[in-house]
Structure 1
Amino acid sequence: MARLHAPDRTEDTVAAFRAWCAADPAHAAAFEHMTLVWDVAGGLHAERAALASPPLPPPPVRPVVSRRLVLAGLGGGLVLAAGGIGFWRQAGAAVYSTAVGEQRRLTLADGTRVILDTDSEIRVRLDDKTRRVALTRGRASFTTAATDPRPFEVEAGGRHVQVQPGATQLDIRRDADDVTVTLVNGGARVDDLPGGVASVTLAGGQQLVAAPTGTQVKQPDVADATAWQGGRAVFRDDTLAAAVAEMNRYSAVKLAVAPEVAGLRVSGTYRVGDNAAFARSVGTLLTLRVVGQGQRLTLSR
């Protein structure tokens, strides 16, 4: 489905698709089902016109991530976001936060670029000797200034991330006492870890998860781990309950899952902030009932 709608589609792709459909009646039936999922989630035709329109200049306010769903699918599905999510804003030492469903981009006085995720807050203090940031809630991405020699430190949930000199890009998320540090590139050391671990030094592409029960170092798909910066959520064989919990972080319209379907598995990439489209797409694919009441949508058998 994604390949057929791609702008670089070739005749070879179309020929391969026709051969695949002819090879087994189940293939054509599966494609028809995915087409229904695509259409229920909003389709692509209206979005093509929007993408072809000249981009508007950024508004003089904090940017809110577009809620428009361009392409939805599960399994090998793909979601493309229409438009950008704002501009860099100059900022000094202060408190910066976002509301539910909002993403904000800013540049600190030292040149460090920050992306704040939904419902997040950081406290920044820059002085002559150090640069300190406290992530009090939510998630933030930091791209540190390469030419500033002062130490750069981020505190989150009692964990301290010491960024090595030079340009470094890292993503830090705090969920109560759980802290996840994803190092995209550069180097960093995480101190004050649970489970008797004094510190862990991360290399580019590694992810550290610190929870009260212990510390783990993983090698995630960095593109998936940082997809939120483009307004997307990526699920790979996650439970429906976990996917719903992540989608609920971005919307005032809350999703609920009946216990009998909470363990169903979900894979795909979705535009965050449009829980109604997510519910329609997942409901169609997994044959679920979607019942709305006020600002709540419930998924059940």
Structure 2
Amino acid sequence: MDEGVVRQVARAQSHSVSPHEPADVEAAAWMARLHAPDRTEDTVAAFRAWCAADPAHAAAFEHMTLVWEVAGGLHAERASLSPPPAPDVPSRRLVLAGIAGGLVLAVGGIGFWQRAGATVYSTAVGEQRRVTLADGTRVILDTDSRIRVRLDDKARRVTLVRGRASFTTAATDPRPFEVEAAGRHVQVQPGVAQLDIRRDADDVTVTLVDGGAQVVGLPGDAAPVTLAGGQQLATAAAGVRLSQPNVADAIAWQGGRAVFRDDTLAAAVAEMNRYSAVKLAVAPEVAALRVSGTYRVGDNAAFARSVGTLLTLRVVGQGDRLTLVR
């Protein structure tokens, strides 16, 4: 990271949001050093000492993380719902630009190393994003999703905060790879694995496309479940369910599509609403009607017209809301 650029952004932002310009500039410099490829344990120790020397230092470092959020570098890397080909491993400058836009360093009693080393990637409603992590793992984020990534010398850990993400792990990295979502821990076996994880509040669905993985921390103290390629594990408060779905349907979202196979209209509408600011609703008397087909996500008006024609329904519009009625 270009430390001069970091300081320039820090100065510009600190005049409007912080009275502690010298500490902010120092915090920006520390952020650059902590994310430099030549970072050492001495750097981390010096950072701890700097934070401990003055409460204003720790506050300035927290402020710097907010500055990066305001800077908005994240938007340049976000993709539309027609995702481009997966990028090659990005250059150092591109990786750091992503950090600048998406970095949120947690503040709390979890240790300075974790605070400085966690990187956040997220998408808004209607967006998808492809990123390559520092270890070579490729990630696709679905609409309205958020992950927190922490890579250290011993392990690679990702937290799915909300939404859905697909992971294709790097084959040559020997460190354990784990994804945590709502207390479920998906531990990927060594080698290349492709997995899709969706979180809806505390309900988590894991689809293993290829490779091997084990899921632990299941509700009701259920025993760990080992997954093979093509299997799906759905976990909820009521228990767990292991199945072997149509994998192509399960990962169709990566191509901007939603596949319904005899789903209720209410369920289909709920899925389509994840991708659009134009919200759909269904009248109670038609909610149980069945829907099948493949639909492009992000265009709820087109979906409503298509389903209305197929099921002989009317589409009633009011503001940014469309209601399907008999």
Give the shorter-chain TM-score range.
0.7 to 0.9
In structure 2, the residue matched to 1:258 is 283
1:85 aligns with 2:88: no
Relative distance call for 1:113 and 1:240 in structure 2 (3 A) is same
What aligned pairs does 1:167-246 form with structure 2 within 5 A after superposition?
Answer: 167-246=192-271
- Structure 1 outlier segments of 4+, above 2 Å: 84-93
In structure 2, the residue matched to 1:279 is 304
What aligned pairs does 1:61-72 form with structure 2 within 5 A after superposition?
Answer: 61-66=77-82
CA offsets 1:152-208 (integer angstroms, 9 cap, x no match): 000001100000000000000000010000000000000010133120000000000
Identity of aligned residues (%): 81
Instruction: From 177, 180, 184, give the equivalent of 1:155.
Output: 180
d(CA) in 2 for partners of 1:85 and 1:268? 24
Larger Rg: 2
SS in 2 for 1:155: strand
Alpha-carbon contact 2:77-2:129 (below 8 Å) kept: no
Alpha-carbon contact 1:157-1:177 (below 8 Å) kept: yes
Q: Which amino acid aligns with 1:64?
A: S
Relative distance call for 1:197 and 1:109 in structure 2 (3 A) is same
In terms of fraction of residues, the more helix-rich structure is 2
1:119 aligns with 2:144: yes
Aligned alpha-carbon RMSD (Å): 1.4
In structure 2, the residue matched to 1:295 is 320
d(CA) in 1 for partners of 2:76 and 2:292? 37
TM-score between the two structures when normalised by the length of structure 2: 0.68
In structure 2, the residue matched to 1:104 is 129
SS in 2 for 1:94: strand
d(CA) in 2 for partners of 1:61 and 1:164? 30
d(CA) in 1 for partners of 2:284 and 2:221? 37
Give, in angstroms, the shift of residue 217 of structure 1. 0.4
In structure 1, the residue matched to 2:43 is none
d(CA) in 1 for partners of 2:321 and 2:270? 13
TM-score between the two structures when normalised by the length of structure 1: 0.73
In structure 1, the residue matched to 2:165 is 140
CA offsets 1:213-269 (integer angstroms, 9 cap, x no match): 001100000000000000000000000000000000000000000000000000000
d(CA) in 1 for partners of 2:242 and 2:86? 33
Number of residue equivalences: 226
In structure 2, the residue matched to 1:29 is none
Give, in angstroms, the shift of residue 87 of structure 1. 4.5
d(CA) in 1 for partners of 2:85 and 2:77? 9
d(CA) in 2 for partners of 1:215 and 1:109? 33
